[in-house]
Amino acid sequence: MKKITMISSSTLFHLLLLFSLFFSWFPNAKPQEIEDEKEFSYIPGSPNGPERWGELHPEWEKCSNGMMQSPIDLTYQRVRLDPSLGMLNRNYKATNATLKNRGHDIMLEWVGDAGFLSIKGTVYFLKQVHWHSPSEHAINGIRYALEAHMVHQSQDLKIAVIGIIYTIGSPDQFLKKLENNIRQLTNTGVLQVNAGVVDPKHVRIEGNQYYRYMGSLTTPPCSENVTWTIIKKIKTVSQEQVDLLREAVHDDAMNNARPLQPINDRYIKLYKSFSSKLEAM
């Protein structure tokens, strides 16, 4: 009987271990961002504005005292060329998605497996994309009209974000496909709508050049050790599309971009492929 009991305990242990490994691998684990953003605001000087985020909850203290915070100014004095970064290794695929009003931004969340981004052997699964206006990151002191964040998460909960910056011009074709869904959020007041099957490859990334640095989430809890990739080439978006994204959230704020954070002793890496160098000549 003792032998049977020992075998049962061992089997139970291994089953629990197996389930634990399964759920840690499962790519639908939630990113470490706040889903309900009503507890903080982007209004300067308000009790829950950006200057006070770190005081609102103990677990948000990095917003006040973190040394690797985002966003930053991608100033050329801190940029170092690094060919070893290599071209972005992405493998995205179409799957069902839900469009959500999180309180201060509009987020498109993929429900199924939307593919991945690979950085130095670590696989980061694509979870969602959301938008900030004006752009959160600046390039040589200039903040542009809009910034999209494609949020990825690894099986050990590390986060990698691809940032795409936009200036006012021709409409963005990816947003154009979502406009009716965004208007549905605006007009009905519902917090989420089914967006159907959405292909993340349609969030076009133009050019091979990008910036890379280590930073944080730009919303509470402002967790650090986030791998940031900011695409160097600026895309275009219409003013109407920027306005549509802001009007949909009904938060009475003029923008939803966090103030620039100190770069401290960080340097920014820049990847340029050989073809990119030829184009620049």
Give Rg (Cα) of the chain: 21
Of 76, 32, 39, 31, which is closest to residue 57 (Cα–Cα)?
Answer: 39
Query: How many CA atoms, within 13 angstroms, populate the side-chain half-sphere of residue 230?
Result: 27
Kindly state the helix (H) or strand (E) to which residue 159 belongs, with its residue range. strand 159-168
HSE toward the beta carbon, residue 249, CA cutoff 13 A: 27
- What whole-number distance in Å separates Cα of residue 134 and Cα of residue 105? 12
H helices, E strands: number in the chain: 6, 16
Active site residues: 104
Q: Are 160 and 226 in contact (CB under 8 A)?
A: yes
Q: Nearest to residue 143, comparing CAs of 7, 19, 259, 264?
A: 259
Neighbours of 139 (CB within 10 A): 18
CA distances from 53 to 65, 66, 95, 101, 103 (A): 11, 12, 35, 20, 16
State the Cα–Cα distance between residues 207 and 153, nearest whole angstrom: 24
Q: Which residues contact 74 (CB under 8 A, 6 or more apart)?
A: 137, 138, 139, 140, 211, 230, 268
